[in-house]
Amino acid sequence: MQSVDAIRAVPGKGLEGDRYFVQSGSVPKKQGPDREVTLIESEAIEALKNENDIALAAGNARRNLVTRGVPLNHLVGKEFKVGEVTLRGVRLCEPCGHLAEMTQPEVRSGLIHRGGLRAEIITEGIIHVGDIVEE
């Protein structure tokens, strides 16, 4: 995982430079719009530390975008913007066994129902650090 200041979002492909976008490394067999971009709330990562004593760096959460002050669960089935890019919330991004293997097993139960959001990219554009998320 690598932090960047800006990244291009491309409908049907994902985030430019992401392993799913270039189809390299460990790419899941399932493809689809719910694999284009993932988001997680920084508050969920903080709660994991406060409630479960698990310190997880934002990059280790294995999500593409980290938000603050945005209730992501409410965006399932809705279109929203991140800066100039329109996304559609497809489904929750529940923590998986792979995340638990990469970090620690307790991460899975600590992030249940707050592991983030899987979203489809509707319009192409650049997402910048600090962009506003709005419905």
Task: Give domain limits for the chain.
Answer: 6-134
2 token code pair:
């690598």
What are the tens digits of pLDDT across the range 88-118?
A: 999 998 877 667 677 676 788 788 888 899 9
* 11: pLDDT strictly greater than 90: yes
Looking at per-residue confidence, does 12 or 104 come out higher?
Answer: 12
pTM for this structure? 0.86
94 token code pair:
């529940």
Burial class (CB in 10 A: 0-12, 13-18, 19+), 56: buried
At 29 the pLDDT is 62
Task: Return the CATH number of 6-134, one of 3.50.50.60, 3.20.20.140, 2.40.33.20, 3.40.50.2300.
Answer: 2.40.33.20
At 94 the pLDDT is 85
